[in-house]
């Protein structure tokens, strides 16, 4: 059994910094993809009981597209890229060369395009994390679903929920727009990293090592 973790302010700041660096890398990939400008917003770092995780994410009660990968290696958990309904539709349109706003519902083609996007964005986030902290991270091919934010989060949490009472929730969000976008078609989203107890210890130890350097 691992002890419940309390993060110190320094550790929290460091985690926030790390999350920002990682999302920075993700946003570069995304801005290339949509040929637009992406801004990175403030990151939240929390350790919360598993049943409260949905309260910490953006848009728990809205239709979102969730792109989920399982994480293994030195840390074990899941990553979830959350795109509000409209953003997912706009991205599908851009990748298919249509005017943003054309897609109203995500079909098979759109799903496969978004899985590809998810794979690239998840990869850039996790590679940045892995390099920065010098830890080994493998991730699965993403799965994708459109539903209510909270419904998606609990399915994603399933495989760590038997081993952990709480989870580390690192959330970073981004927003931006690209060529041909109308004001209401801004792209926004957030990236959530969920880790079990053992992985939290590992991640924090790696951070402490970086702070000491």
Partner 1 sequence: MLKKITISMAEFRVVHNPCILESIGIGSCAVICLFDRKRKIAGMAHAMLPDSKQAVADVNPLRFVDKAVDVMLSSMHSLGCKNTEIRAKIIGGAEMFRSILTTSHVSENNIKAAREKLEKEGIRIVAEEVGGNQGRSVWFDTETGDVVVGRIHGPTIEI
Binding-site ranges for partner 1 (CB under 8 A): 1, 49-52, 54-55, 60-61, 63, 68, 70, 143-155, 157-159, 161-165, 197
CB of 78 to partner 1, least distance (A): 10
Contact assessment for residue 18 and residue 133, using Cβ atoms and an 8 Å cutoff: yes
Whichever of 4 and 109 has its CB closer to partner 1, that residue is: 4
Of the candidates 56, 87, 83, the residue with the CA atom closest to the CA atom of residue 150: 56
Helix (H) or strand (E) holding 166: strand 166-178
Return the structure tokens found at 152.
């998606």
**Closer Cβ to partner 1, 12 or 198, answer by number:** 198
Closer by beta carbon to partner 1, 82 or else 128: 82
Quick one: 28 or 148, whose CB is closer to partner 1? Answer: 148
| Packing angle, helices 108-133 and 9-34, rounded to 10 | 140
SS3 11: helix
> What span, in angstroms and rounded, lies between the C-alpha atoms of 138 and 83?
22
| 129: helix, strand or coil | helix
Report the nearest approach of partner 1 to the CB of residue 12 (Å): 24
Q: Nearer Cβ to partner 1, position 16 or 46?
A: 46
Residues 118, 114: Cα–Cα separation, whole Å: 6
Question: Nearest distance from residue 108's CB to partner 1, in Å?
Answer: 13
**Closest approach of Cβ 201 to partner 1, in Å?**
14
The strand pairing partners of 191, in sequence order, are 81, 172
């Amino acid at each position: 059994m691992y002890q419940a973790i309390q993060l110190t302010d320094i550790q929290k700041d460091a985690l926030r910094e790390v999350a920002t660096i990682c999302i920075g890398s993700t946003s570069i990939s995304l801005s290339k993809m949509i040929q637009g400008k992406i801004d990175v917003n403030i990151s939240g770092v929390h350790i919360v009981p598993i049943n409260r995780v949905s309260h910490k994410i953006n848009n728990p009660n809205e239709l979102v597209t969730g792109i989920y990968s399982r994480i293994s290696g030195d840390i074990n958990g899941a990553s979830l890229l959350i795109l509000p309904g409209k953003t997912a539709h706009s991205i599908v349109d851009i990748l298919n060369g249509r005017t943003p706003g054309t897609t109203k519902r995500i079909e098979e083609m759109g799903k496969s395009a978004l899985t590809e996007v998810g794979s690239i964005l998840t990869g850039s986030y996790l590679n940045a994390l892995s390099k920065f902290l010098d830890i080994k991270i493998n991730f699965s091919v993403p799965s994708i679903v459109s539903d209510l934010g909270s419904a998606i989060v609990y399915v994603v949490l399933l495989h760590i929920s038997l081993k952990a009472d709480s989870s580390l929730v690192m959330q970073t969000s981004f927003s931006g727009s690209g060529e041909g976008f109308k004001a209401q078609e801004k792209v926004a989203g957030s990236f959530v990293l969920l880790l079990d107890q053992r992985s939290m210890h590992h991640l924090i130890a790696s951070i402490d090592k970086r702070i000491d350097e």
